[in-house]
Structure 1
Amino acid sequence: MANPAVRLASIALHLQSTGAGRSGGAGHSFDVSPRPELNQPMADIIRERKNASFDINLMQTFLDGGKDYTRAKEIAYQIIRRDPILLFDGGNDYDLTRPEAREKSMAQVRRFVEIYHSLKNPIQQKAFEVALSSYSESFGMRLYVHHMLFRNSIKMFASEEQKKRTTWVKDIDDFSVLGCFAMTELGHSSSLRDLEATATFDPATDSFILHSPTLTSTKWWIGMSGQAATHTVFLAQTIIKGKHCGLNWFMVPLRDRHTGRLFPGVTCGDIGAKAGRHGLDNGWIQLTQVRIPRDNMLMRWSQIDREGNITEPPNQALVYATLIAERLCTVDGTNNLCGQALTIATRYSCARRQGTSNQQIMDYQTHYVNLMPGVAGMYVLSLVDRCLWAYWDRMEELSRTNTDEYLQYLNDIHCVAAGTKASITWWGSEILERCRRAMGGHGFSAYSGIPSIIGDWGVFTTGGGDNFPLAQQTARYVLNCVNRSMQGKPNFGSAEYLKDIKVILEFNVCPADSVAAWLDLAILQKLFASLTVKLAMRIGQHLAPVAKKGQEKVEAVWNEHQLDVLRLSHLHTIHYLISLFTSSVSSLPSEYSSLKPILTKVGLTWALDMAVRDLDLMLEEEFVSAAQAQNLRVARNGICKELRNDVVPLMDAFGRPDFLLKSPLGRYDGDIYNAYFDTVTRAPDCYGPANYWSTEVEPLLTRVRP
């Protein structure tokens, strides 16, 4: 590829020689020749890195979990950059049609499998998978559906005997089959108990008959079902001897592996255009009297014998357990997509100068107060993500070794996953919009990289469970835990702090009496604990009078206070995330001790910004005075201004290369204008008369006028 400056000069000569780009008839050519001031953005970015208050390389090693993974990640990026099948032509996928995007992402899957199995080092395999998933969101979702949803369903719901007897897991790992996850329906999503698809046991043939009885029972939004999946795990109402026996999962073949033809009774289609993830074939599934062997029901928690006798699961919630892991994945997903957008927006904001003093736009308060909480949040989520997966790993171990303890903690980790997904993905949506606005008009260009990220992101707030019902489920759990604590009963996991509920209730007035006093994570943690309990008790007071008047009355009161209910979920979740982050920083390994000051600062920045969002509730509860509220805002704004000095190094430490960001405006070296212009001029149909000129423009201009 030609040097951007050389390309600019050649384009200028082209414009002058052809007469294009002239203004009116005056003959003034459009000057696109390189200017000295184009070097200023690069100089600014260099200075930003020199001013780092911490060791960027050490921080990257910490975030990666060690030097071995950092090195493996660098090799993974090299593999992608050098492979024409994995790499997008022209450096991005913004101009691909939907069929082209589907074909490209599937080609990436095929090539990924070839390369993955050639890599013998597990660390290198993981780094390659993560890197390619970050580079291509549609590829990542194909892999996610196949591995996290389809494979995990077999892992969690199939009995040990089924796993040993069948080749299901081996076929999934070898990609001998492509799987999808058929749960939600056209008329039912978060309300799983209302699902309509049925699986009726036929003892005469020892088989189940799967059926989609209505239009609204059509499985909908099922990733990879539109064109590619050969099999699915299918959630259906189980009917035995005319009796409904709850929901169960079934392994169902969809397509012939060689021809792609649907099997008899199976109808699948693509749901068409979407806001994002254009390379993923989300589809719909209808089954019409499809027979499968009885053994295709996944029987770890629920079993049916040859005579139709059923052993029901100890807890119906076990049927949904795979969704917990799916929701936990949104933490890393937020870090990936919001992290890319923040890298682009912050580099651009440091490279761009504007205003009467021609200052970097990152130095405007509107920029650093809007962007720095997002930057800080990426670090909070990075540390919290490790804690949440450690919790989940422990749960998986308990599911194999101690079912009683597993069931004891199941409600809590469900609450953690649901509440975290709701709070963090709603927050992520706001951060992405801040990034777009921070880039001014250029943020509306697809080539900035931000619109594509926003399009791919949108499903996070609804996929895996819509945030509104998830937050309400978390709130119900919190209300129950508060009641238990008031009765002197124990709570577990995220609600363990409620054992000190009497002390929490005594925390009636915030002790932060100055701006400096707010710079204390311990006070902020106590603040969220107090607000959680106070709001829970307020909601409880509204519910108590109707508790014995029937579910309809309870639901009516619940709906009248639904906004408070959603906030209760958020307060509890933020308290838990702050506690996990604080614990992680306090237990840093000695080799990373020099990072503690900057990590503490990012934690404070994020927590203070979260606290500012709840100032109205603090004032309602008379927890803070007007002066304290003002001090809180000043503290938040001040720490954002301080952290702004480290903004480029903080995002550099995640180690995202330019090709991954797919944004000329987020370049590592700050050469944004040359790169942006070069990208635009290489885009399809940049030059020449429009292909509709002769059919639409010329007839308009030359029409016979009355």
Structure 2
Amino acid sequence: MSNPAVRLASIALHLQSTGASRSGGAGHSFEVSPRPELNQPMADILRERKNASFDVNLMQTYLNGGKEYTQAKEIAYQIIRRDPILLFDGGNDYDLTRPEAREKSMAQVRRFVEIYHSLKNPIQQKAFEVVLSSYSESFGMRLYVHHMLFRNSIKMFASEEQKKKTTWVKDIDDFSVLGCFAMTELGHSSSLRDLEATATFDHATDSFILHSPTLTSTKWWIGMSGQAATHTVFLAQTIVKGKNCGLNWFMVPLRDRHTGRLFPGVTCGDIGAKAGRHGLDNGWIQLTQVRIPRENMLMRWSQIDREGNISEPPNQALVYATLIAERLCTVDGTNNLCGQALTIATRYSCARRQGTSNQQIMDYQTHYVNLMPGVAGMYVLSLVDRCLWAYWDRMEELSRTNTEEYLQYLNDIHCVAAGAKASITWWGSEILERCRRAMGGHGFSAYSGIPSIIGDWGVFTTGGGDNFPLAQQTARYVLNCVNRSMQGKPNFGSAEYLKDIKAILEFNVCPADSSAAWLDLPLLQRLFASLTVKLAMRIGQRLAPVAKKGQDKVEAVWNEHQLDVLRLSHLHTIHYLLSLFTSSVSSLGSEYTSLKPILTKVGLTWALDMAVRDLDLMLEEGFVTAAQAQNLRVARNGICKELRNDVIPLMDAFGRPDFLLKSPLGRYDGDIYNAYFDTVTRAPNCYGPANYWSTEVEPLLTRVRP
């Protein structure tokens, strides 16, 4: 490292200090060290930024979708930093008790509503909501439950007549009520066909009686039901004239909004300590013979009249259509949480030096090969997220204008959402673990920011559990689509590529004859298409002999090959996401064409890393030789090394400020050690005797010895 760079870092550190010293908390202070090696981290980060191969500001504008939204986010950050109700005392929430965290997140909700309605620009409103949700995950989930789940359920399942006759939507938008989403049950999670809660129509009183008949029918993991929600949408088996007519959604009051007391027959409780999102009151709900008006059944797709005549929905999938949007949210949610962790881990890895040559630990292959696919994945997910929401927006429009076409595409977007949630959250879990390991022992310190993110991630992905059921839903859809293509029938959306199934089946041998030949996105896209189809054919051949022997036989064979089933879902999903990414890059606007090389590089990094994971299947299929497999790994490792040179600018482009990251080890300026020590010494109870000294320590030390 050149001496001028170190001196520049020393000057920057001096200018950021107040006077000659920097407060260390509890009356402790220390001088800014004149020793250049202690300022080396700042110099390293400065050099990393100086060597960027692309325009970071232009990339940030592109990722934000334009200058106006970029500016709106900056204003939103200012609002949060300057508002004592929104801002966490001490810069983070790691030391809050659970009751304190609950109160703080609810205070953030109340303050958010006040500020949001004072902002008249819709773009500014959106930016404020997005930024605050990133800053406080508990706040974000409260808002998500109320808006995305509760409000969207009314929007999607209530009839137009119900929307006109009631104040439901207005009350939700005004926050006159707080809503939650009661679907999952203690004994069944999100296995909808197994749900036990019932809604029995009582003809005599023109009402429904909602009941949780067993312990396992208790609604569980319901955000905001523990303490705050006044209402819920409740999914139950609908019993009419003694017949089970399938699942329907019901609007159910839970609490008096003035006193917070539960209504008769309603029992709600908090599920207690969780791995993360301590400010969110996830809870449970039991209903005991709770009576609601017949009109409280949401009747857009299924209707019941005064005489108990019920019409079932044209497609049972409509009942859980709201889950599609919920699952699509995991793309941006993964980008947010993994992006924060990667920003911290990559900055730390560039600021930290260690080893016989005292090199940046980011220059070790174990670091850059582990972290660069994650960095690349953040860009892939950013571009893919736009495409998926455009698909969903089109679906919402079709639901209003063309029911037939809407139903035609419904199975496909359900497949996309289920597969994306499974594959992306599995991948995200691995990336977060890589980030934790990259931090060394500090990865276990709450103040590094990583454990909090991992805890939030655990709660964020709870809705999918192990995600195996979601992946199996996607796999069943893919098998059906492959069969349709083999019969010459058309497919839609994510499965449209199967129209070329003959050419896909003929793609038997990989043409890549060198590591450089693997640096080809179209080739990798064809690779995933081929692996998907061939694995689907293999699974189909195993199922065919038992197809006519009954569902039990089919399920038994299906279970014996479940690992292949999960991989089929993953391969199809990766192929689709990669196709969306490449399409986005190829259609860049003229103002962003200079970004195409770096975007292509991140796409290749992500795709090659995904391909390396499936080398065993490629070898099984005879698609690659041992030499080609080795070349693939060489190509992946090589492009990770190249991308490492842009790692700090790549994460800078997401524009996450220090106060949002809540990590002294992920500081923008690289001054990690001073900031880390400051944070630790300012934490509660850093100094002084333990409060148990006189009761436990002193008696031990002064005891009478035999």
Offset at residue 23 of structure 1 (A): 24
Indicate the residue corresponding to 1:697 in structure 2.
697
Which deviates further from its counterpart, 454-463 or 186-195?
454-463
Q: Relative to structure 1, is the Cα distance of residues 10 and 696 closer, same or farther in structure 2, using a 3 angstrom cutoff?
A: farther
Residue 65 of structure 1 corresponds to 65
Structure 1: distance between partners of 2:496 and 2:557: 28
Q: In the alignment, does 2:629 pair up with 1:629?
A: yes
Change (3 A) 1:635 1:364: same
CA distance in 2 between partners of 1:545 and 1:269 (Å): 50
Could you tell me how far 1:7 is from its partner in structure 2?
A: 21
Q: Deviations over 1:394-449 (max 9, x none)?
A: 00001011111111111000000000010000000000000010010111100000
Distance change >3 Å, CA 621–CA 105, structure 1 → 2? same
Deviation of 1:458 (Å): 1.1
Shift of 1:149: 0.2
Deviation at 1:9, TM superposition (A): 19
Q: Following TM superposition, by how much is the alpha carbon of 1:460 offset from its aligned partner in structure 2, in angstroms?
A: 3.9
1:551-588 CA distance string (max 9 Å, x none): 11111111111001000000000000000000000000
Q: Residues 168 and 625 of structure 1: is their aligned pair in 2 closer, same or farther, counting only changes over 3 Å?
A: same
Whole-angstrom CA distance in 2 between matches of 1:468 and 1:411: 18
Q: Partners of 2:387 and 2:24 in 1: how far apart?
A: 64
Q: Give the whole-Å Cα distance in 1 for the aligned partners of 2:458 and 2:378.
A: 18
Instruction: Give the Cα separation in 2 of the matches to 1:21 and 1:159.
Output: 65
Relative to structure 2, which stretch is displaced further, 461-470 or 596-605?
461-470
TM-score between both structures, scaled by the size of structure 1: 0.96
SS in structure 2 opposite 1:22?
Answer: strand
Residues 81 and 87 in structure 2, CA contact (< 8 A), matched pair in contact too: yes
Contact 1:9 1:32 in 2 (8 A): no
**Aligned partners of 1:11 and 1:513: how far apart in 2?**
52
Q: Secondary structure at the match of 1:232?
A: strand
> What's the secondary structure of 1:237's corresponding residue?
strand
CA gap 1:21/1:130 in 2 versus in 1, 3 angstroms: closer
Distance 1:22 1:634, change over 3 A: closer
Q: Distance in 2 between matches of 1:13 and 1:613?
A: 43
Residues 665 and 44 of structure 1: CA distance in aligned 2, closer, same or farther (over 3 Å): same
Q: CA deviation at 1:459?
A: 3.1
Q: What CA deviation, in whole Å up to 9, does each residue of 1:625-647 have, x standing for no partner?
A: 00000000000000000000000
Closer/same/farther in 2, CA of residues 33 and 470 from structure 1, 3 Å limit: same
Deviation at 1:36, TM superposition (A): 2.8
Q: CA deviation at 1:46?
A: 0.6
Decide which moves more: 616-625 or 22-31.
22-31
Deviates more, 1:422-431 or 1:183-192: 183-192
In structure 2, the CA distance between the partners of 1:22 and 1:695, relative to structure 1 (3 Å rule), is: farther
Q: CA RMSD in A?
A: 4.6
Of 15-24 and 418-427, more deviation after overlay is shown by 15-24
Moved more, 33-42 or 10-19: 10-19
The structure-2 alpha-carbon separation of the partners of 1:602 and 1:231, relative to structure 1 and needing over 3 Å to count, comes to: same
Q: For the residues of structure 1 that align with 2:422 and 2:26, how far apart are their CA atoms?
A: 59
SS class of match (2:32) = coil
Per-residue Cα deviation, 1:519-565 (whole angstroms, up to 9, x for no partner): 00000000000000111111111111111111111111111110010
The Cα offsets for residues 6-47 of structure 1, whole Å up to 9 and x where unpaired, read as 999999999999999999999999999664322111111111
Q: More deviation in 644-653 or 182-191?
A: 182-191
TM-aligned CA deviation for residue 152 of structure 1: 0.2
User: 2: CA distance between counterparts of 1:516 and 1:506?
Assistant: 24
What's 1:217 paired with?
A: 217
| Counterparts in 2 of 1:47 and 1:406: CA distance versus 1, 3 Å | same
SS of aligned partner of 1:18: coil
After superposing the two structures, state which structure 1 stretch, 229-238 or 461-470, moved more: 461-470
Structure 2 counterpart of 1:11: 11
Q: Deviations over 1:576-619 (max 9, x none)?
A: 00000000000000000000000000000000000000001000
Q: CA deviation at 1:693?
A: 1.2
1:213-238: CA deviations, max 9, x gaps? Answer: 11111111100000000000000010
Q: CA distance change for structure 1 residues 2 and 277 in 2, over 3 Å: closer, same or farther?
A: farther
Q: What CA distance in whole angstroms lies between the structure 2 residues aligned with 1:47 and 1:15? A: 19
Mapped to 1, the partners of 2:391 and 2:465 lie a distance apart of 20
- Which secondary structure does the structure 1 equivalent of 2:176 belong to? coil
Asked if the contact 1:22–1:28 (Cα under 8 Å) also holds between the matched residues in 2, the reply is no
Note closer, same or farther for the CA distance 1:503–1:442 as it changes in structure 2 (3 Å cut): same
Instruction: Please report how far the alpha carbon of residue 190 of structure 1 lies from its aligned counterpart in structure 2 after TM superposition.
Output: 2.6
- Find the aligned partners of 2:154 and 2:188 in 1 and give their Cα distance: 23
Deviation at 1:193, TM superposition (A): 0.9
Give the structure 1 partner of residue 482 of structure 2: 482
Q: In the alignment, is the contact (CA less than 8 A) between 1:15 and 1:21 conserved in 2?
A: no
Write the distance in 2 (CA, Å) between the matches of 1:665 and 1:23.
17
State the Cα deviation string for residues 120-149 of structure 1 (Å, max 9, x = none): 000000000000000000000000000000
Q: 1:682: Cα distance to partner?
A: 0.1
Count of aligned pairs:
706
Cα distance, 1:381 vs. partner?
Answer: 0.2
Deviation, 1:462, is: 3.4
| Cα distance in 2, alignment partners of residues 318 and 270 from structure 1 | 30
Residue 286 (str. 1) matches residue 286 (str. 2): yes
CA offsets, 1:102-131, max 9 Å, x none?
000000000000000000000000000000
Matched residue, 1:171: 171
Is the CA contact 1:106–1:139 (under 8 Å) kept in the aligned structure 2? yes
Residues 77-122 of structure 1: CA distance to partner in whole angstroms, max 9, x if unpaired?
0000000000000000000000000000000000000000000000
| 7 and 180 in structure 1: CA distance in 2 versus 1, 3 angstrom threshold | farther
For residues 230-271 of structure 1, the C-alpha deviation after alignment (integer angstroms, 9 at most, x for no partner) is 000000010111111000000000000100000111110001
Q: Which moved further from structure 2: 15-24 or 592-601?
A: 15-24
1:4 and 1:441 map into 2 onto residues whose CA distance is 32
* Counterpart Cα distance in 2 of 1:25 and 1:176: 43
Contact 1:302 1:311 in 2 (8 A): yes
Q: Deviation per CA, 1:292-343: give whole Å up to 9, x if none.
A: 1110000000000011000110011100000000000000000000000000
The Cα of 1:701 is off from its aligned counterpart by: 1.7
Quick check: 76-85 or 6-15, which moved more? 6-15
Partner Cα distance (2:219, 2:446) in 1: 32
Question: Residues 2, 94 of structure 1: CA spacing in aligned structure 2 closer, same or farther, 3 A cutoff?
Answer: farther
539-548 vs 105-114, which deviates more? 539-548
What secondary structure sits across from 2:540 in the alignment? helix
Q: Distance in 2 between matches of 1:24 and 1:322?
A: 49
User: d(CA) in 1 for partners of 2:121 and 2:26?
Assistant: 66
Moved more, 684-693 or 7-16: 7-16
Partners of 1:76 and 1:124 within 8 A in 2: yes
Deviation at 1:470, TM superposition (A): 0.2
Give a deviation string over 1:51-86, Cα, whole Å, max 9, x none. Answer: 000000000000000000000000000000000000
* Closer, same or farther: CA 675–574 of 1 in aligned 2, 3 Å: same
- Contact 1:49–1:649 (8 Å) recurs in 2: yes
Give me the whole-angstrom Cα distance separating, in 2, the residues matched to 1:19 and 1:512. Answer: 61
Residues 220 and 284 of structure 2 are in contact (CA less than 8 Å); yes or no, is this contact kept in structure 1? yes
Counterpart CA distance in 1 for 2:28 and 2:101 is: 42
3-state SS in 2 of match to 1:573: helix
Moved more, 185-194 or 634-643: 185-194
Is the contact between residue 25 and residue 682 of structure 2 (CA under 8 Å) also seen in structure 1?
no
**2:689 aligns to what SS in structure 1?**
coil
8 A Cα contact 1:199 1:208, kept in partner: yes
- Give yes or no for contact 1:374–1:431 (8 Å, CA) kept in 2: yes
Unpaired segments of 5 or more residues in structure 2? none
Relative distance call for 1:693 and 1:404 in structure 2 (3 A) is same
- Asked if the contact 2:7–2:36 (Cα under 8 Å) also holds between the matched residues in 1, the reply is no
State the identity as a percent.
Answer: 95
Contact 1:347 1:648 in 2 (8 A): yes
C-alpha contact (below 8 Å) 1:172/1:178 kept by paired residues = yes
For residues 178-236 of structure 1, what are the alpha-carbon distances to aligned partners after superposition, in whole Å with 9 as ceiling and x for unaligned? 00000011111131111111111111111111111111111111000000000000000
The answer (yes or no) to whether the contact 1:354–1:361 under 8 Å persists in 2 is: yes
Compared CA separation, residues 34 and 211, structure 1 to 2 (3 A): farther
Going from structure 1 to structure 2, the CA distance change for 1:8 and 1:500 (only over 3 Å counts) comes to closer
CA contact (8 A) 1:5 1:674 kept: no
**What stretches of structure 1 of length at least 5 have no aligned partner?**
none
